[in-house]
Amino acid sequence: MVIIVLVGFCLAQQYRPLVLMHGLMTGSEAMSHIQGWVTQDFPGIYVKNIEIGDGRDDSLFMNLNDQCASLANQILADPKLDKGFTLIGHSQGALTSRCAIQRYNLPVYNFISLAGPQDGVFGVPDFNALCPDDLCPWLNDIFSQIVDGSWISPLVQGTISFAAYWKDPFDYDNYLKYSIYLADVNNELAVKNTTYKTRLLKLNQMLLIYSTTEDIVVPGMSPWFYFYPEGSDKTVLPLQSSTQWTEDWLGLRTLFESGRLSFKSLPCDHQDIPRDVCKPYYISEYRYLINTTLSD
């Protein structure tokens, strides 16, 4: 009897751990549904559901560079993650997750980006989908300031998280000049950080998912690194037609050509992707990337 229990315990411990990273205007509770699905499907799996600061407010008002560091430091402080883990980030948390992979020596095995604004944002989202007016009456004012051009200020970028990944296609030179976050994370600056590419290329799999009913991230296909070309906001430029791809600044083309970068879409609203209403798509589209063991 004792032997059977010990064998069962050892088998349960074989699942590779999972780390979850919440998005903008939420906390770790927003990822609790995914945590529940995973722990039910993979008994004994270790799941670390990260909280940035106090959650909702700090996800908006904490400098994104500090959010990236907080995520990485919480991972590095957990010895249960030392042998490798799968990382899932939702929305802003997916961009924060990629930042942490690139800047810190994290043993990430598979990376799943759920509707993350990987190539930035330029446009007004559905405010109430982010936070109802009665809870966040000031949110419209913040977006108005960003749209009016205050995003260019390092102070604004450092205190309003999404300002640090606001990319104006009509003012790309100033974006490169003043960006405190996204231009670096996407290796768009003149001097490339080769470590960023090296660390992404260590991934076993990278999955980029966007919502076909997107109402938060603008443009909606930024999660696939599709973005407006310079001087236009009418159509988006596919990643495969961008300099990011042709010069392989982050190693995305190399990952794809080696069968390790995948693109998928889900017919789920942005905020619903980690919720029970979208569980069928977790089952069909990305659960297989969690079903790994430390021996894989």
What's the Cα-to-Cα distance from 154 to each of 91, 96, 161, 175, 255, rounded to whole Å?
22, 18, 11, 11, 33
Residue 151 falls inside a structural domain: yes
Q: Is 133 within 8 Å of 127 (Cβ atoms)?
A: yes
Q: 6 φ, ψ to 5°?
A: -65, -40
Mean of per-residue pLDDT scores for the chain: 92
Q: What residues contact residue 203 under an 8 Å CB cut-off, 6+ apart?
A: 101, 108, 109, 110, 111, 255, 260
3 state SS of 268: coil
- In this prediction, residues 255-274 reach a mean pLDDT of 97
Which domain range does residue 225 map to? 38-289
Residue 285 falls inside a structural domain: yes
Distance between CA atoms of 195 and 166, rounded to whole angstroms? 24
For the stretch 132-164, pLDDT in tens is: 766 777 777 776 777 777 888 999 999 999 999
* Residue labelled with tokens 């961009």: 95
Residue 4 falls inside a structural domain: no
Give me the pLDDT at residue 8, please: 47
- In this prediction, residues 74-93 reach a mean pLDDT of 98
- Local confidence band at 128 (pLDDT 50, 70, 90 cut-offs): low
- In this prediction, residues 244-262 reach a mean pLDDT of 98
Residue 56 falls inside a structural domain: yes
**DSSP notation for 151-170:** GGSHHHHHHSGGGGGB--TT
- Local confidence band at 272 (pLDDT 50, 70, 90 cut-offs): very high
The tally of domains found in the chain comes to 1
| CATH number of the domain where residue 138 is located | 3.40.50.1820
Residue 43 falls inside a structural domain: yes
Residue 50 falls inside a structural domain: yes
- Local confidence band at 13 (pLDDT 50, 70, 90 cut-offs): low
Residue 216 falls inside a structural domain: yes
pLDDT reading at 7 higher than 50: no
For the stretch 169-181, pLDDT in tens is: 999 999 999 999 9
- In this prediction, residues 60-73 reach a mean pLDDT of 97
Residue 140 falls inside a structural domain: yes
